């Protein structure tokens, strides 16, 4: 079942250690077949060296296991909430990459200080509020997804234009049209988080990039008249 999607999600998961986005088992990637309403995700706690496409878990959007003998990622409910809220998402990744996690632990958005950030994220990458004790006790992972959705809707952020978030005190989630693109955005997120931290170290009160520069760099890659790259 979903063999092509399993292969794609497995390859995306294997990219995480290659890109130094995870150590040990600190991350997971999922992908969704929108027509079938089924999600493929990494099993919980399985070492990347032992991961195969056959070990991935297939679930429906209500979290029922359709195929697979292992427990799905402990972050599965977060992925499912995002897929249900944001129909444009085709793949999601969660890591604890250190620079993005540092901003999450500080409880601050990652500011857009320059063009590298603006090429991929149309403005700052938002940091969610922290979960309440009640939300954590009720259903930690599901409510993590709900707080991400709450953050984007309350701020009027398009998740296609800002394909990542950092969860306060926790770490980053990123997404894209595919599992591979989600990992690509996670890698870019880690780089811009590092650049933002270095910028703060150089100048504590550095100003974010002006809106017209952000607009130019984002639109030349993603706008209706985009001209970056080859046709």
Q: Which residues are catalytic?
A: 119, 228
- Cα–Cα distances (Å) from 132 to 6, 9, 51, 169, in that order, read 35, 32, 34, 12
Instruction: For residues 132 and 177, give the distance between their C-alpha atoms in angstroms, rounded to a whole number.
Output: 31
Structure tokens of 70? Answer: 């292992």
Residue located via tokens 């697979």:
68
- In sign, the C-alpha dihedral spanning 87, 89, 91, 97 is negative
User: Pairing state of beta strands 164-167 and 91-95?
Assistant: unpaired
Residue matched to tokens 């359709």: 66
């Amino acid at each position: 079942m979903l063999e092509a999607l399993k292969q794609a999600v497995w390859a995306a998961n294997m990219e995480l250690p290659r890109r130094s986005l995870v150590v040990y088992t600190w991350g997971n990637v999922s992908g969704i077949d929108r027509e079938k309403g089924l999600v493929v995700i990494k099993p919980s706690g399985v070492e990347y060296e032992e991961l195969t496409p056959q070990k991935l878990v297939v679930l429906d959007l209500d979290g029922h296991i359709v195929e697979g003998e292992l427990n799905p990622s402990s972050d599965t409910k977060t992925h499912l909430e995002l897929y249900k809220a944001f129909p444009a998402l085709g793949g999601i990744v969660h890591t604890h990459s250190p620079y993005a996690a540092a901003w999450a632990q500080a409880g601050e958005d990652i500011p857009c200080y320059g063009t590298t950030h603006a090429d991929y994220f149309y403005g700052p990458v938002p940091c969610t509020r922290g979960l309440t004790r009640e939300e954590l006790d009720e259903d930690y992972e599901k409510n993590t997804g709900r707080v991400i959705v709450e953050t984007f809707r309350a701020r009027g952020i398009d998740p296609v234009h800002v394909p990542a978030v950092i969860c306060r005190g926790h770490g980053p989630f990123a997404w894209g049209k595919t599992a591979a693109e989600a990992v690509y955005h996670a890698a870019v997120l880690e780089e811009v988080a590092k650049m933002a931290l270095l910028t703060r170290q150089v100048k504590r009160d550095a100003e974010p990039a002006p809106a017209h520069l952000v607009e130019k760099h984002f639109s030349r890659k993603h706008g209706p008249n985009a001209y970056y790259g080859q046709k």
